[in-house]
Structure 1
Amino acid sequence: ITCNLQNVSPTSLFFYSVPTFLTHIGAIKFKVKYLMSQVKHLICLFSCSLLSRIFYEYVLLTLHLAEVDRRLRIFHENLKTAEKLQALDQGSAEYGVTKFSDLTEEEFRSTYLNPLLSQWTLHQPMKPATPAKGPSPDSWDWRDHGAVSPVKNQGMCGSCWAFSVIGNIEGQWFLKNGTLLSLSEQELVDCDGLDQACRGGLPSNAYEAIEKLGGLETESDYSYTGHKQRCDFTTGKVAAYINSSVELPKEEKEIAAWLAENGPVSVALNAFAMQFYRKGISHPLKIFCNPWMIDHAVLLVGYGERKGIPFWAIKNSWGEDYGEQGYYNLYRGSNACGINKMCSSAVVN
């Protein structure tokens, strides 16, 4: 950039010349030409700096507007998807604008979901759970019995596996000891060497890691940050522990009976429809919710019926501003979205 100084006023030149002039006041020769050139140079630098800043802000604004335009296009495409889900839903769900509406499917999956769950068929076999002693009641909700902590938020981290397992252990600890603790997901994110922190994990691995560590600290002692950091686990702060873990049967009636008798269950499912879910009972077609493409871990806390539609009550980990105060209701009775594929629980003796 060139600077034209022909129109610089004498006043400006004098203002910038005075300090330099005074430093040479005792000299025999003032080197006027040199001083004037220095002043002009300073004014040029100032002008060029201002132009550069204006140009920089212009570039930032252009990039910002381009990103806004891109997000609007993504938003409109997602609205079309939500409308399709709404038109073809077999339950009573309402789909529409959510806090994830400006994300592409790939962005949503890579930020909030768990790609490792797609490998569920390869996970280490777990000990089978002892079947429930009797048939399940018509409805049950562990929120009504004090076994469920408040909804949490995993943030922009694929740590749903940790929240699912921790929620299960909170319930198991409550049922055995009578105290509902909010336990630390961050401990698993940092210290579980079998899983991949924000890049995903498997509940079966998490149970094993907790046994090896010797237990879990509370949320208040080891708070959640939403990113992997150095393991800061302290044995002396262990507030809860587990003795083993079990895998539940894959029949929904048996899952319901076990849940009512033994507590909330760690489960996984296909979360495609969850990006657009607002309320009601979700029952998407298989083309939207392939039961073999599992990618999100959650906590099964109960089941029941609404206006004759059977459903599972699912505690999610995307904050209370998601769905129904942080919960997702899924149709019960057709293994919708693979809800029966990976059901497990810790065992506390």
Structure 2
Amino acid sequence: MAPWLRLLSLLGLLPGAALAPSQPRAAGAQAWEPPAPELLGPARFALEMYNRGRAAGRQAVLGAVRGRVRREGQGSVYSLEATLEETPCKDPTVCQLPLSKKTLLCNFEILNELGKHMLLRRDCGPVDTKVTGSNETLNSVLPLLSKDPLPQDFSVKMASIFKDFIITYNRTYETKEEREWRMSVFAHNLMRAQKIQALDRGTAQYGVTKFSDLTEEEFRTIYLNPLLKEGPGKRMRQAKSPNDPAPSDWDWREKGAVTRVKNQGMCGSCWAFSVTGNVEGQWFLNRGTLLSLSEQELLDCDDLDKACMGGLPSNAYTAIKNLGGLETEDDYSYEGHLKVCSFSSEKAKVYINDSVELSKNEHKLAAWLARKGPISVAINAFGMQFYRHGIARPLRPLCSPWFIDHAVLLVGYGNRSDIPFWAIKNSWGTDWGEEGYYYLHRGSGACGVNSMASSAVVD
């Protein structure tokens, strides 16, 4: 079983629990004991996460709670079962969905590590949900995932495509039920990818990727960064834009200023990779040496950010400056989860003097990049779960600049078939996108690419 899938399994994310978390009981079928005091804090955090983004009149309240706690590394994992009460549904477009009933039974997994909470799992279903037989899983789930009519031979074709996916990405599932649930998620995602494809105005191709058996919620929870939409954080001074116009194209990969594509793994640490990529480029341009720097140092030692729960580039620059520099990846290797800080100033190989905020004008951004080096930016990751290659240009309402949730690195720009693009280094490994890179339309503010651009300063 692939390591990340094994971890998902340990966290309870893999089986088809989103339909029926654990054979939910009918309301009142069993009396629940008062919850242990240590469960109340994690339970309230889980409720807060459940209600995030909901209108005030649609927020749920916590009912009964029970669960257990187990130690994991430096923290504790809380496995909770809770009832939530929702106000009566008044919107007919919402009321027809199964999760709109008044009383829900939810399973939550919450990690508490060094005093910080992180939601690992959230599966909710109505209290009267019945678990269908394993042979009916795919047919019962798909109508809930899309209103589009399904062709009669859909299941046969999907089984073949899913088998190819399993072989390509070396997937192994523990049970038949788990496999069928993942196939249902995969089928829904394939339909979503087709809709994204139809609405894209660029040349991007969307389809099967290594993330195609993850639900949207799982993908966002594991790989994206919710803190970015809260704003840029610490105010930085405005950088002076170059006077010279931008060259017609530029690529720092061709000039030795960009390290290999890295992989953040099952951790929302994109902010750290975006910043280290920028600092790597700045050090190279000012000191002549390209060093692969430590993202793990930022996860462990940056007290302003939240490690795998997300962070802000502006905070990361401050942390690097306050710590006294960055160690290399060889000296402080990446593990993809929060550990106790073990930074050694004696091993620091790189330092920064300051950080700056860059112009939101994309012509000025291009000019700055060509003269000064790769740029840390944040974007809306809409569609990236299924991106394969080409220049993405989602419709603005679908990829709003107000919902930034992923930090990446601008390394160049140019044109393909007269379509202007930004070349973006991502942190999901080389088996995603164009060998780990994403290409996004340039000049239209696509997905907020110009909304949070910044750089370290190395004198």
Q: TM-score, normalised by structure 1?
A: 0.81
Partner-residue secondary structure (3-state), 2:231: helix
Number of matched pairs: 287
Among 222, 226, 234, the alignment partner of 2:332 is: 222
Q: Which residue of 2 aligns with 1:49?
A: none
CA distance in 2, matches of 1:227, 1:124: 24
Structure 1 residues 202-246: Cα deviation after superposition (integer angstroms, max 9, x where no partner): 000000000000000000000000000010101100100000000
Among 197, 207, 220, the alignment partner of 2:307 is: 197
Q: How does 1:90-169 map to 2 (within 5 A)?
A: 90-120=201-231, 123-169=233-279
Partner-residue secondary structure (3-state), 1:300: strand
Q: CA RMSD in A?
A: 1.1
Q: Which residue of 1 aligns with 2:316?
A: 206
Among 435, 440, 443, the alignment partner of 1:330 is: 440
Q: Which residue of 2 aligns with 1:83?
A: 194
CA distance in 1, matches of 2:180, 2:298: 39
Among 370, 384, 388, the alignment partner of 1:274 is: 384
Q: Which residue of 2 aligns with 1:71?
A: 182
Q: Is the 8 A contact 1:136 1:256 kept in 2?
A: yes
One-letter code aligned to 1:78:
N
Partner-residue secondary structure (3-state), 1:168: helix
One-letter code aligned to 2:182:
R
Q: How does 1:10-29 map to 2 (within 5 A)?
A: none
Report the CA distance between 1:198 and its aligned residue: 0.3
One-letter code aligned to 2:228:
L
CA distance in 1, matches of 2:295, 2:369: 22
Report the CA distance between 1:102 and its aligned residue: 0.8
Structure 1 residues 260-319: Cα deviation after superposition (integer angstroms, max 9, x where no partner): 110000000000211110001011112321111000000000000000100000000000
One-letter code aligned to 2:193:
A
CA distance in 2, matches of 1:186, 1:261: 29
Q: Which residue of 1 aligns with 2:30?
A: none
CA distance in 2, matches of 1:277, 1:289: 14
Structure 1 residues 39-91: Cα deviation after superposition (integer angstroms, max 9, x where no partner): xxxxxxxxxxxxxxxxxxxxxxx982222211111111111111011112111
Partner-residue secondary structure (3-state), 2:383: helix
Report the CA distance between 1:193 and its aligned residue: 0.4
Q: Which residue of 1 aligns with 2:368?
A: 258
When you count helix as a share of all residues, which structure comes out higher?
1
Structure 1 residues 120-173: Cα deviation after superposition (integer angstroms, max 9, x where no partner): 15x222110111121000000100111000000000000000000000000000
CA distance in 1, matches of 2:358, 2:448: 14
Among 207, 232, 248, the alignment partner of 2:358 is: 248
Structure with bigger RCO (C-alpha 8 Å, 6+ apart): 1
One-letter code aligned to 1:184:
S
Partner-residue secondary structure (3-state), 1:322: coil
Q: Is the 8 A contact 1:273 1:288 kept in 2?
A: no
CA distance in 2, matches of 1:168, 1:264: 6
Larger radius of gyration: 1
Q: Which residue of 1 aligns with 2:53?
A: none
Partner-residue secondary structure (3-state), 1:272: coil
When you count strand as a share of all residues, which structure comes out higher?
2
Q: Is the 8 A contact 1:101 1:276 kept in 2?
A: yes
Deviates further, 149-158 or 130-139: 130-139
CA distance in 1, matches of 2:225, 2:439: 20
One-letter code aligned to 1:128:
Q
Alignment pair present for 1:177 and 2:252: no
CA distance in 1, matches of 2:234, 2:261: 29
CA distance in 1, matches of 2:441, 2:222: 26
